[in-house]
């Protein structure tokens, strides 16, 4: 054990050393020993945060703990905090965020909502970090999954809460977009949020409203949503005030691409007038894209031309 | 009038490009597209049909002049291309017609007489840079020989991967004979574990990552048959889980990379039927995200490297219809940044290794025309170390074998002259892949 420790401190991806530790630990399976392994891997990750073997070793240890002991929830919270600390120093660390997403599958609904609240401030300070927004998407999807499984009396209340969370996220995203000009990660997050809201939540509303109380507080009007999005896109693309700053140009391109993407994803059955509005929008969008990024005009033609799959 | 002038400028450009090109190289680009097009129907219909396709190998959609001049020299071909592109039946003013005819006579004459001029080549290459192939070969050989340097000791556990990167690069540059084949093969065989899998180096634990590299290197030397294919395939088959995913080794870590490795390796060993391919495909499809990309596990963030593994695996398994090609193509083409390089995820810096992963994925889903290829070529060439050889991840960074391989492989996919064509799914030269599947043994 001592030799492998020394070796790993020198060459953190030395898989054979990690494996020999796993072999020894799997014979004993006591919590203190497993916690020791977590300490060692945390130490290794502190100077080598992208070490795939170290993350994989942590997952193996947590799986062992999950099988034998019941302190899992507390360990998951600590793991989540550890990842956030490491992500602070090593931006968009794929392995670290992947580990955090892996933890989500062990979380209860309360933990998921808690994580959403806790990570919001951090995400607001790291708007160029696509991985942290992906983590939020993972949490929100997990929350939605939970809703699908609880089809009972509480479902409408659950649904209202989920819808509120989604709407809040959209509003918060909009404020960030206006504050931090030209950040691709924010626009990609918005793509996911709007698409999911329009495609999936609308159908759920139909399913839920048949049984429960009046849905006055939860009025998902697709029409007004699209109007709002169109307004946002227009406001972002017309502020090409200063061509010297790349950010404004990037904002224009991203907003136009977002609109284009949305038009491809909205299903046909949502209503004819929406399609009309969008088609009018697409014409503007193509012009916008070609004006702001003329050297990729052939790409915009291809993208406008393709038909999305149903 | 303007149109005619543009055509004249085009002619001059073609003359210069012709003069600058190495006359000795065979028409590499056509072979490359030839094999790829042979492959592309097979990607959707499964490998079994590709055998019949090869036997009735019809010339693909390359320029028509190729059909007529299979035995003619490259010179004649370019001439025919030129003449065909600018037929004199074009409606031009009579004076211009006369000038064009005269220009064609000049071109014919110059093709016959003039040899490649150093000055014109210098002028063109100054603009785009040049692939310092010899320097890269020297660099790779020096890395292979230096077993005691700090870098090689720290990378000791993945030496087999390093061998694959270095040797495939040498093969693409046409210099595989620069290494001692016997030496390499005997060392690889020593890396094999009793379970059938290969380890990164002698005495280390086995893992699928090194197993694939071992099989690929043996394929380069056409020595796959010295392996006990059943033993190796049993090792891999034993790592498939119930949900169709693959573990990397006995310790159970699951990742779509390992699915690609399993499918690719078993395909080269021609034992693909030993695993549950449908389940494996099902697992890969479950890792598809809303943006069209793939992560390392279901719900994982889309990453260009993972996308390459998933798309490659689906291509080899004949299941590319599961991919939403337009959506994924969109995500992939957004990876190109202003400098022309490609990044792996949104908001990241460009890196040469993604020029392979993104590019090969685009080629497999037939959307490569959505990126600007010339800018990408320029980016890769800028990342070379022109003095000592090797390619780095970004211009002016330190070089390593990993990025050298991906840079050269990317250039090969972009049909850079003088390089052997490479198969985007197997990541091996096309002639090696053809040898495995199409030669009767």
Q: Do A299 and B370 touch (CB under 8 A)?
A: yes
- Whether residues B204 and A306 touch (CB distance < 8 A) is answered with no
Based on its alpha-carbon atoms, the radius of gyration of chain A, rounded to whole angstroms, reads: 23
Task: Note whether B157 contacts A: Cβ–Cβ < 8 A.
Answer: yes
Q: What 3-state class would DSSP assign to A165?
A: helix
d(CA B54, CA B438): 7
Measure in Å the smallest separation between the Cα of B205 and chain A Cα atoms.
5
Q: Is B150 on the interface with A (CB under 8 A)?
A: no
pLDDT of residue B123: 45
Closest residue in B to A13 (Cα–Cα): B157
pLDDT in tens, A246-255: 787 788 888 8
A20-49: pLDDT as tens digits: 999 998 888 788 888 888 999 999 999 889
Query: Are B191 and B211 a contacting pair, CB within 8 Å?
Result: no
Q: Long-range contacts of range A277-283, CB-CB < 8 Å, 24 or more positions apart?
A: A277/A226, A277/A227, A277/A230, A278/A226, A281/A230, A281/A233
Higher pLDDT, B408 or B75: B408
DSSP B75-137: HHHHHHHHHHHS-TTS---HHHHHHHHHHHHHHHHHHHHPPPPHHHHHHHHHHH----HHHHH
Cα B245–B356–A47 angle (5° rounding)?
70
Pairing state between β B399-400 and B391-392: antiparallel
* Residue, of A290 and A88, whose pLDDT is higher: A88
Average pLDDT over residues B382-394: 92
Identify the residue among A10, A12, A15 best suited for mutation to test binding to B, counting B beta carbons within 10 A and taking the highest: A15
Q: Mutate which of B257, B289, B299, B328 to disrupt the A interface (most A C-beta within 10 Å)? A: B299
Q: Does B223 contact A at CB distance below 8 Å?
A: no
pLDDT at B355 over 80: yes
Distances from the Cα of A94 to the Cαs of A50, B162, B301, in angstroms?
Answer: 8, 23, 8
* B72/A270 Cα distance (integer angstroms): 60
Q: Whole-angstrom Cα distance, residue A62 to residue A224? A: 46
The pLDDT of residue A135 is: 94
Helix axes B430-438, B47-55, angle to 10 degrees: 90
Which neighbouring-strand residues pair with B192?
A: B198
Distance from the Cα of B123 to chain A's closest Cα (Å) equals 25
CA B122 → CA B17, B101, B117, B131, B184, distances in Å? 12, 29, 9, 13, 39
Query: How many beta carbons lie within 10 A of that of residue A250, not counting itself?
Result: 18
Alpha-carbon gap, residue B150 to A105, rounded angstroms: 41
SS3 A50: coil
B228 pLDDT tier (thresholds 50, 70, 90): very high
Residues sharing a CB contact under 8 Å with residue B121, sequence separation 6 or more, in sequence order: B19, B20
CB B391 within 8 A of CB B281: no
Distance in Å, alpha carbon of A134 to nearest chain B alpha carbon:
6
Contact A130 B301 (CB under 8 A): yes
Tell me the per-residue pLDDT of B278-322, one tens digit each, with 9 for 90 and over.
999 999 999 999 899 999 999 999 999 999 999 999 999 999 999
d(CA A57, CA A21): 9
Residues of B in Cβ contact (< 8 Å) with A94: 301, 303, 345
Q: Could you say which of B154, B300, B348 has the minimum Cβ distance to residue A101?
A: B300
- Chain A residue numbers with beta carbons less than 8 Å from the beta carbon of B347 are 92, 128-130, 183-185
In this predicted structure, the answer to whether residue A292 has a pLDDT above a threshold of 60 is: yes
Q: Which helix (H) or strand (E) holds B331?
A: helix B325-333
Quote the CA–CA distance of A285 and A300 in Å, as a whole number: 10
- pLDDT for res B116: 46
* Residues A180-209 pLDDT 10s: 888 899 999 999 998 888 777 666 655 555
> What is the mean pLDDT of the segment spanning B129-139?
89
Q: Cα-atom radius of gyration of chain B, to the nearest Å?
A: 23
Å between A24 CA and nearest CA of chain B: 13
How many C-alpha atoms does B108 have within 13 Å on its Cβ side?
A: 8
The C-alpha atoms of residue B211 and residue B209 are separated, in whole angstroms, by 6
CA A225 to chain centre: 21
Given this model, what pLDDT does residue B341 score?
Answer: 92
Are B411 and B152 in contact by the 8 Å Cβ rule? The answer is no
Contact B368, B334 (CB under 8 A): no
**CA separation for the pair B28, B11 (Å, rounded):** 22
pTM score, whole prediction = 0.80
The answer to whether A15 contacts B200, with C-beta atoms less than 8 Å apart, is yes
Per-residue confidence (pLDDT) for residue B253, from 0 to 100? 93
Which residue of B157, B291, B303 is in closest CB contact with A16? B157
Residue B163 pLDDT > 50: yes
Q: In this predicted structure, what is the pLDDT of residue A244?
A: 63
Q: How many CB pairs under 8 A join A and B?
A: 87
User: In which band, very low, low, confident or very high, does the pLDDT at A277 lie, cut at 50, 70 and 90?
Assistant: low
* Inter-chain CB proximity A15 and B157 less than 8 Å: yes
Q: pLDDT > 90: what percent of chain B?
A: 60
The SS3 of residue B192 is strand
Distance from CA of B204 to the nearest CA of A (A): 6
Please name the member of A22, A184, A192 whose beta carbon is closest to the beta carbon of B347: A184
SS (H, E, C) B375-406: HHHHHHHHCECCCCCCEECCCCCCEEHHHHHH
Cβ–Cβ of B157/A13 closer than 8 Å?
yes
Is residue B32 scored above 60 in pLDDT?
Answer: no
Residues of A in contact with B334 (CB under 8 A): 257
């Amino acid at each position: 054990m001592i030799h492998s420790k020394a070796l790993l401190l020198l060459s953190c991806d030395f898989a054979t050393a990690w494996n020999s530790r796993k072999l020894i630990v799997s014979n004993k399976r006591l919590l203190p020993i497993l916690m020791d392994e977590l300490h060692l891997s945390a130490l290794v990750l502190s100077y080598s945060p992208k070490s795939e073997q170290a993350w994989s070793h942590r997952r193996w240890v947590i799986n062992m703990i999950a099988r034998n002991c019941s302190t899992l929830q507390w360990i998951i919270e600590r793991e989540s905090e550890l990842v956030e600390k490491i992500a602070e120093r090593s931006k968009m660390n794929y392995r670290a965020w992947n580990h955090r997403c892996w933890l989500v599958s062990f979380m209860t609904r309360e933990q998921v909502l808690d994580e959403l609240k806790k990570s919001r401030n951090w995400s607001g300070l790291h708007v160029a970090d696509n991985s942290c927004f992906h983590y939020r998407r993972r949490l929100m999807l997990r929350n939605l999954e939970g809703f699908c499984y609880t089809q009972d009396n509480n479902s409408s209340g659950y649904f209202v809460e989920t819808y509120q969370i989604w709407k809040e996220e959209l509003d918060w995203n909009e404020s960030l977009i206006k504050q931090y000009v030209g950040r691709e990660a924010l626009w990609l997050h918005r793509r996911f949020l709007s698409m999911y809201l329009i495609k999936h939540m609308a159908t759920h509303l139909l399913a839920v409203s048949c049984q429960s109380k009046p849905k006055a507080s939860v009025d998902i009007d697709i029409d007004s949503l699209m109007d709002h999005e169109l307004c946002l896109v227009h406001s972002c693309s017309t502020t090409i005030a200063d061509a010297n700053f790349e950010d404004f140009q990037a904002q224009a391109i991203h907003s136009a691409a977002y609109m284009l993407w949305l038009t491809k994803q909205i299903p046909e059955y949502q209503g004819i007038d929406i399609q009309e509005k969008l088609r009018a929008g697409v014409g503007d969008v193509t012009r916008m894209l070609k004006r702001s990024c003329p050297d990729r005009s052939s790409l915009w033609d291809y993208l406008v031309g393709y038909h999305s799959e149903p | 009038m303007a149109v005619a002038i543009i055509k004249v400028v085009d002619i001059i450009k073609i003359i210069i490009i012709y003069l600058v090109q190495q006359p000795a190289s065979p028409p590499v680009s056509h072979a490359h597209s030839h094999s790829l097009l042979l492959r592309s129907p097979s990607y959707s219909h499964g490998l079994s049909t590709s055998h019949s396709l090869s036997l009735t190998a019809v010339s693909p959609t390359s320029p028509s002049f190729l059909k007529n001049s299979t035995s003619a020299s490259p010179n004649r071909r370019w001439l025919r291309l030129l003449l065909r592109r600018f037929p004199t039946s074009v409606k031009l003013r009579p004076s211009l017609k006369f000038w064009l005819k005269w220009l064609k006579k000049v071109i014919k004459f110059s093709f016959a007489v003039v040899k490649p001029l150093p000055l014109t080549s210098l002028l063109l290459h100054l603009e785009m840079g040049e692939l310092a192939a010899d320097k890269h070969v020297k660099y790779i050989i020096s890395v292979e020989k230096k077993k005691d340097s700090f870098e090689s000791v720290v990378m000791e556990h993945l030496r087999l991967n390093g061998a694959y990167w270095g040797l495939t690069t040498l093969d693409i540059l046409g210099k595989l004979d620069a290494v001692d084949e016997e030496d390499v093969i005997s060392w690889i065989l020593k890396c094999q574990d009793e379970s059938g899998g290969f380890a990164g180096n002698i005495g280390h634990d086995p893992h699928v990552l090194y197993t694939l590299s071992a099989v690929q290197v043996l394929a380069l030397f056409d020595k796959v048959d010295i392996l006990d294919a059943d033993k190796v395939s049993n090792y891999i088959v034993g790592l498939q889980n119930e949900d169709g995913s693959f573990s990397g080794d006995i310790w159970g870590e699951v990742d779509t990379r390992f699915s690609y490795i399993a499918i690719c390796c078993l395909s080269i060993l021609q034992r693909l039927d030993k695993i549950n391919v449908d389940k494996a495909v099902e697992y890969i499809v479950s890792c598809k995200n809303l943006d069209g990309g793939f992560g390392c596990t279901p719900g994982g963030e889309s990453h260009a490297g993972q996308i390459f593994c998933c798309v490659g695996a689906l291509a080899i398994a004949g299941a590319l219809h599961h991919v939403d090609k337009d959506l994924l193509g969109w995500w992939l083409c957004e990876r190109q940044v202003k400098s022309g390089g490609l990044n792996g995820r949104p908001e990241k810096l460009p890196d040469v290794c993604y020029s392979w992963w993104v590019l090969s994925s685009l080629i497999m889903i037939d959307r490569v025309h959505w990126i600007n290829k010339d800018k990408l070529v320029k980016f890769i060439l800028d990342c070379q170390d022109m003095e000592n050889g090797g390619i780095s991840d970004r211009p002016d960074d330190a070089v390593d074998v990993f990025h050298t391989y991906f840079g050269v492989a990317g250039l090969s996919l972009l049909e850079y002259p003088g390089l052997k064509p490479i198969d985007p799914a197997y990541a091996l030269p096309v002639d090696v892949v053809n040898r495995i599947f199409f030669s009767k043994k």
